Amino acid sequence: MNIPRPKAFLFDMDGTLYDSMPNHASSWYQMVCEQGIPCTPEEFFLYEGATGAWTVNLLFQRAYGRDASAEEVQRLYERKAEIFRSKPHPRVMPGARELVEAVRALPWHPQTILVTGSAQGSLLGSLNDDFPGAFPEERRVTALNVKRGKPAPDPFLQGASLAGVDPQGCIVIENAPLGVQSGKAAGCFTVAVTTGPIPRERMAEAGADLIFDSMPECAAKLPEMLCKN
Ligand code: CA
């Protein structure tokens, strides 16, 4: 496979750098059940990558046939974040440090940028300790910086802009179909890693250019593939 040599890597956070999706999904499930809105524990893995507002509106449309008000979005997202914070701190995804270090050590030293739909301070605050030098605050796109989140192209377009690189010169690392759609819509070469219950077929349907079954596999193979080009 011919992969363009990237000038920047745009990394998703939840489910990619951190094994945080089980906590996010169970927090969403608990909060939505508290509201009396019918839902399943599994569906929240599919909404991964979207902003809190997008997910709350999807649930409100389904249950009540209308969008949530700004006040409802804020109240429910804050409740979800509160439940998330009460859970054990998620571990760094196995293989994530190895991948970040390997791409930073490539001979042409590509940049690393964080592109997340999250505004979760507990994880964002751990990045500098867990990935030293890779994602300082000026190299982050979060839910606080973009209006339209994934699956819209905006987050990755902004990530490319932060790097000062055309989207075509970026590789996106994602673990969720909505994130893959966003990366492709932005025009980036998009790598999907199946780190949770979502099968690789969903990543292919979303348009992934390349799919790995784990972060250790991605860390072992992707840098080598890039060096061969
Ligand atoms: Ca993710």
- pLDDT one-digit tens code per residue, 31-61: 999 999 999 999 999 898 888 889 999 999 9
Whole-structure pTM value: 0.91
CA distance 190 to 56: 27
- CA 20 – ligand 1 centroid, Å: 9
Average pLDDT over residues 109-131: 91
Average pLDDT over residues 120-146: 92
Tell me the pLDDT tens digit for each residue of 171-214: 999 999 999 999 999 999 999 999 998 999 999 999 999 999 99
**Average model confidence (pLDDT) across the chain:** 94
DSSP the chain: ------SEEEE--BTTTB--HHHHHHHHHHHHHHTT----TTHHHHTTTS-HHHHHHHHHHHHHSSPPPHHHHHHHHHHHHHHHHTSPPPPBPTTHHHHHHHHHTSTT--EEEEE-S---HHHHTTHHHHSTTTS-GGGEE-TTT-SS-TTSSHHHHHHHHHHTS-GGGEEEEESSHHHHHHHHHHT-EEEEE--SSS-HHHHHHTT-SEEESSHHHHHHHHHHHHHH-
Could you give phi then psi for residue 170, rounded to 5 degrees?
A: -115, 145
- CA 2 – ligand 1 centroid, Å: 25
- CA 180 – ligand 1 centroid, Å: 9
- CA 109 – ligand 1 centroid, Å: 24
Q: Is 209 a catalytic residue?
A: no
- CA 134 – ligand 1 centroid, Å: 18
Tell me the pLDDT tens digit for each residue of 25-35: 999 999 999 99
- CA 29 – ligand 1 centroid, Å: 17
Q: Is 67 a catalytic residue?
A: no
CA 188 to chain centre: 14
CB 154 within 8 A of CB 181: no
pLDDT attached to residue 2: 72
Which pLDDT band holds residue 122 (cuts at 50, 70, 90)? confident
Average pLDDT over residues 133-147: 92
Catalytic residue among 14, 19, 154, 209: 14
Share of the chain above pLDDT 90, in %: 85
Structural tokens at position 60: 């409100």
201-213 core/surface letters (b: 16 or more CB in 10 A; e: else) = ebbeebebbbbbe
The residues whose Cβ lies within 5 A of ligand 1, an ion, are 12, 14-15, 48-49, 175-176
